Structure 1
Amino acid sequence: MFVRPSGISIDEMGYALSRLEIEEFYDEGSAMNEASNSHGKSKSPLNLDHEIAQLTKLRSEPHQQLSKAIPGAERDLPVSVVKMLAGRECNYSGRGKFSSADRCHVLSRYLPVNGPWLVDQMPSRAYVSQFSADGSLFFAGFQGSQIKIYNVERGWKVQKNIYAKSLRWTITDTSLSPNQCHLVYASMSPIVHIINVGSAATESVANITELHDGLDLSAAADGSYSFGIFSVKFSTDGRELVAGSSDDSIYVYDLEANKLSLRIPAHLSDVNTVCFADESGHLIYSGSDDNLCKVWDRRCLTAKGKAAGILTGHLEGITFLDSRGDGRYLISNGKDQAIKLWDIRKMSSNASCDVERRPYEWDYRWMDYPPQARDLKHPCDQSVATYTGHSVLRTLIRCYFSPEYSTGQKYIYTGSHDSCVYVYDLVSGAQVAVLKHHNSPVRDCSWHPNYPMLVSSSWEGDVVRWEFPENGKTPTPMSKKRIRRRHFY
C-alpha cells in the first residue's frame, strides 16, 4: 500500500514513501551502500577534497540544526526520514518546513531503479530521448525518421508524432525550446529543422501536414562542404541555437534574426558535443574527437580568436558534455571509457602537453576497447575526478548530472554500450546503481527533473521508464516476448 505520511506535501517530498519503507531503508544503515551492494561492485571512493564536494553536500544534506537536534543522528549516515519528520514537526530547524536540501536528502536516497515499464517500442534505433525542463513532456528521436513527443502527465500519450525531413543516416540530436513551443532536430546535414510542437495536429509530416523550417548553417562555409550536425542545443532564453559539426566547427544561429551569427573553427576533428555553460549564454563548452574539451567566451572571441581555455585529460575522443549550469563545472563522456568532472578554473590556455602515440590500433566503431589501454593515464590530466565502469563504444554515448530539484545534482548517470544505465555518486565515485533491461547499446537516458523516474532508450527500439516505485508496486520482471505482447495489445 502506497501511503503518504501525514503532513507531507508532494512539493516537499515528491514521491513520498510509506513509514515501513522509510524505516527499512534508513534503520539498516546507508542506502548508498545497499544500492551499491545490490547492483554490483562499487568503485573505490574518490574522497574529493574539493569545493564541489562541499557544494554537493550543501545541496543534498539535512539542515544542520535539524540533523544536530535529532537524537542519535550520525553524520556519516543518512538521517532517518521518520526522525526528520519529527524534527520538522518540532521545528528544530526554525524554518517550519523542509528546506530544499532536506528534500534532496529524502529524494536522492530513492533511486529510480525499479522497473522497467514500457513507454514505447519502435522498429528502429533510438538515438536521443529527453524530458522537457518541467518534466511534463518527453521526446525521443529514432533512426527511422521519427520523433515522438509524449505527454507524461496524460499517461504517456503521444502528443506529437513527427516525421523528419531530408534525414541523412539518423536523427543525431534534438532540442526542445525552453517555452516548449518549438523543437529542432539535426542529422548528418548542415540543415537544422525547426517545427512548432504547440500546434493541435498530432501527425507532423515534414512540409505535408506541417512546415519544418530549415535553418541553413552552411552559409559560413560558403556551401563548399556538406557537413553533418552531431549536437544542437537551445540557449536558456530560447533565442539562439548552438551546434557542433563534422567540419570541426561550432555554429551559433540567431533565431530572432533568422541567420547564422557565428562560426568558430574550434577543433582539429569532429565536434561531437556542444552546450551553453549557463543562463548567460556567454560561455560555450565543446568536445571533440581530438580528445579535448574547450571553453569559449563569446565576449572576447572576436579579439582573441581562440578558446578561453582547454581541458586535457581524455585519451580518446569526447562523445558528450553536460554542464552543471553554474558556469564552472561540467562532465564529459569519452571513448577512453571514462566520465570526467571538470572545473573550468583549472583550464589552461593551450593543450598542456603532448600525449605519446597510443601503442595499439583501435577503432571504437567496431572494436572492443583494448585491455592494455585501461591502465593508461594522461600525463597532464586536469580533471577533478574520473568515473569508470560503463562502456563507450559504437555510438556517442551520453552522460548527465542528476536533477538539482530532487537530488541536489548528487549523482552522474550515463548510458552504456553494454545495454545498461550506470549511476555514480558524484563525490565518492561509487557506482550506486546499474539498470539492466536492454539488449543493445543505451545511447541516451533522462532523469525526470522532479521525481525519481528515469527513462532509457536503446538501439533495439525500446523506450522504458524506471521509478521508485510506480504506485508503490514493483513490476514483475518481463521477458522480451512479454513486453512485445503488452505493446501490441
Structure 2
Amino acid sequence: MGYGMSRLEDEYYEPEGQDTDGSSSVQVNDDFSKLHNDIFHMTRMRSGLSESIYKSIGTNRGIISMAKLLSGREVDCSGKGMFSSGDRAFVRGRYVPMNGPEFLDMMDSRAYVSQFSADGTLFVAGFQGSRIRIYDVDRGWIVHKDIHARSLRWTISDVSLSPDQRYLVYSSLAPIIHIVNVGNAARESYANVTDIHDGLDFSQHEDVQYAFGIFSVKFSSDGRELVAGSNDESIYVYDLHANKLTLRLPAHTSDVNTVAFADESGHLIYSGSDDTLCKVWDRRCLSTGQAAGVLTGHLHGITHIDSRGDGRSFISNGKDQAIKLWDIRKMMSNADSCADGAPSWDYRYSRYPKHHKQLKHPHDQSLATYRGHSVLRTLIRCYFSPAYSTGQKYIYTGSYDSNVYIYDVVSGSQVAKLNGHQMAIRDCSWHPIEPALVSSSWDGRVAKWTSARDEEAYDVD
C-alpha cells in the first residue's frame, strides 16, 4: 500500500505535463482564465478561510496554526458561534483520505459500484456476481442488507439510493430496473420472497420494440422520478408515483453511458455518450426533442458525469483518459455542434495510443482538463469531493491502474494517489462529512481510506 501527495498550488493552473505515464496535468482554456473564472473563484471562496478569521487572530495570509483557528472560532469571528462554511471546509478539506487501505469486505466477483448515502450512515456496493450489499457505517460496517439481484445481465451497472434512504434501485444491461426497500426489513433480500423487490419496465414506451441495457440510473431530488441512460442511444424518465415510463428521448448517436440531474429542481439533465458529446436537456422545453445545448471537447466516449449541484457546472470522465470541467453557459446549440473526435479506438482491448495523447479537440469548450488516471475496459467514474467538508475543492476518480486519484480543482495538481487494490477501480465514494473515502475494485475488495494529515500548522493560500 502507499500514497503520494503534492503541494497545493496557489496559481489557477499548472503548465500541462505528462499524463498516464505517472504524473498529472491540467489544461485550462485561455478565454476561461480571463473571462469566466467564477467557478474557480467560488471554489476558493467555499474552501478557504474568511477574512474575519484573519482579522480576529491578527495574522496575515501565510502559516496559521490550528490553535489560532480554534481561537478565532472561540471569539466568534463569524458572528454565529461557529466556523463559517468556508472555514469549516478549509479545516476539514486539509484532511485528505490517504491513509489505508483498510479492507472492509471481500467478494468472489468484481465490484462495479460504490456509493455513500447522503448522510453517510449507509454504504452500497454492487458486484458482478448478482450481489448488492448495504453496510451500516455507524455500526462498524456490518451488512445491513444483502440483496440478491434478479434478471441480471452481465453485471450490476448502477445503483441509486432514494433521498429518504428508504429505497434502492439497481440496473444491469437489461431494460428493467429493480427497486428494493432499504428500511429495517430482513437482512437477506430475495425477489418478492422476504422483501419488496419489484421490476420497473423501461421498455413499455410505444417507440420501444426491442431489448436494451441500462448503464446509468439516478433518483430525482424529491424521490418521485428516475432518470436512466441506455445503450439504445436514449434517455428515459420513470414516474415512480404513477408507476409508468413518462419520457423517452432519442438523445445521442451512440450509447448513453451516464446521466445526472443538474440540481435539486430536476429541470435540467446532463447526459454523456460514446458519441463523445455532453448534452444538456431542459425538461421545460422538450417539444422539439432537441437538447438545450451541446458541449464538445472529449476525443472519445464519456464514461461518467457528476454535477456540481449548482445547475451550471459538471465534470465528465472520458475514454480519452481525461476528466473535463464544464460550464453550460459555454454550450452550443445542436445546429452548431459537431462531434469531431480522435481516430477510432476500442478501450476494451488495448492501451490508449500514445499518439492520441497529443491530440486536442478543435472545438473544445471545456474549462479545464485533468489527466493522470487511466480509463480502460469499464465505465470508470469521477466526482467532486463533498461540499460540506471540502467546499468541492477536489475531483477524485477510480482508475484502471488500480489506484484512486485526487486532483485539486483549481490548480489541477495531483493531491493523492491511493494505491492498495490489485485490479481496476470502477467506482469510489467520499464520505459526505468525514475525511474518509471507500473504493471498490475488480479484485472484489471494498477498501476504506482515512485522513493521514495530522500537522499542527497549515499553509493558507
Q: Please confirm whether the aligned pair reaches a TM-score higher than 0.5, indicating the same fold.
A: yes
Aligned residue number for residue 73 of structure 1: 60
**Change in 2 beyond 3 A, CA 1:223/1:94:** closer
Cα distance, 1:31 vs structure 2: 6.1
Aligned residue number for residue 443 of structure 2: 460
Aligned residue number for residue 238 of structure 1: 223
Q: 2:189 aligns with which of 198, 204, 207?
A: 204
Cα distance in 2 between the residues matched to 1:306 and 1:339: 26
Cα distance, 1:80 vs structure 2: 2.9
Aligned residue number for residue 124 of structure 1: 109
Q: Is residue 98 from structure 1 mapped to residue 83 from structure 2 by the alignment?
A: yes
Confirm or deny: 8 A CA contact 2:282 2:292 kept in the other structure: yes
Cα distance, 1:70 vs structure 2: 3.4
Aligned residue number for residue 479 of structure 1: none
1:53-452 superposed matches below 5 A: 53-74=40-61, 77=62, 79-220=64-205, 222-302=207-287, 304-350=288-334, 352=336, 354=338, 358-359=342-343, 361-452=344-435
1:24-43 superposed matches below 5 A: 32=8, 41=23, 43=25
| Equivalent position SS for 1:149 | strand
Cα distance in 2 between the residues matched to 1:343 and 1:252: 24
Cα distance, 1:62 vs structure 2: 1.2
User: Which amino acid counterpart does residue 325 of structure 1 have in structure 2?
Assistant: G
Cα distance in 2 between the residues matched to 1:357 and 1:217: 31
Cα distance in 2 between the residues matched to 1:185 and 1:42: 34
User: Which amino acid counterpart does residue 212 of structure 1 have in structure 2?
Assistant: H
Confirm or deny: 8 A CA contact 1:31 1:109 kept in the other structure: no
Aligned residue number for residue 10 of structure 1: none
Cα distance in 2 between the residues matched to 1:95 and 1:104: 16
| Equivalent position SS for 1:65 | helix
**Change in 2 beyond 3 A, CA 1:60/1:214:** same
Structure 1, unmatched stretches of 5+, are: 1-29, 473-489
Cα distance in 1 between the residues matched to 2:122 and 2:382: 20
Confirm or deny: 8 A CA contact 1:231 1:244 kept in the other structure: yes
User: Which amino acid counterpart does residue 199 of structure 2 have in structure 1?
Assistant: G
Higher helix share: 1
Cα distance in 1 between the residues matched to 2:90 and 2:171: 38
Cα distance in 2 between the residues matched to 1:356 and 1:96: 54
| Number of matched pairs | 434
Confirm or deny: 8 A CA contact 1:399 1:412 kept in the other structure: yes
Cα deviation 1:353-373 (Å, max 9, x = unaligned): 5466745x5210011000000
User: Which amino acid counterpart does residue 236 of structure 1 have in structure 2?
Assistant: S
Confirm or deny: 8 A CA contact 2:27 2:370 kept in the other structure: no
Cα distance in 1 between the residues matched to 2:240 and 2:204: 15
Of stretches 100-109 and 63-72 in structure 1, the one that deviates more from structure 2 is 63-72
Cα deviation 1:160-217 (Å, max 9, x = unaligned): 0000011000000011101111111111100111111114200001233334211101
User: Which amino acid counterpart does residue 294 of structure 2 have in structure 1?
Assistant: I
Confirm or deny: 8 A CA contact 2:276 2:341 kept in the other structure: no
Structure 1 length-normalised TM: 0.85
Structure 2, unmatched stretches of 5+, are: 1-5, 15-21, 455-461
Cα deviation 1:39-65 (Å, max 9, x = unaligned): x75536859550011111121111212
Confirm or deny: 8 A CA contact 1:355 1:378 kept in the other structure: no
Q: Highest relative contact order (Cα 8 Å, sep 6+), 1 or 2? A: 2
Cα distance in 2 between the residues matched to 1:64 and 1:367: 51
Cα distance, 1:87 vs structure 2: 2.3
Cα distance in 2 between the residues matched to 1:44 and 1:153: 37
Confirm or deny: 8 A CA contact 2:159 2:170 kept in the other structure: yes
Compute the RMSD of aligned alpha carbons: 2.1
Confirm or deny: 8 A CA contact 1:415 1:422 kept in the other structure: yes
Structure 2 length-normalised TM: 0.90
Aligned residue number for residue 457 of structure 2: none
| Equivalent position SS for 2:44 | helix
Cα distance in 2 between the residues matched to 1:288 and 1:183: 25
Percent identity, aligned pairs only, is 65
| Equivalent position SS for 2:309 | coil
**Change in 2 beyond 3 A, CA 1:377/1:90:** same
Confirm or deny: 8 A CA contact 1:121 1:463 kept in the other structure: yes
User: Which amino acid counterpart does residue 183 of structure 2 have in structure 1?
Assistant: G
**Change in 2 beyond 3 A, CA 1:184/1:44:** closer
Confirm or deny: 8 A CA contact 1:32 1:109 kept in the other structure: no
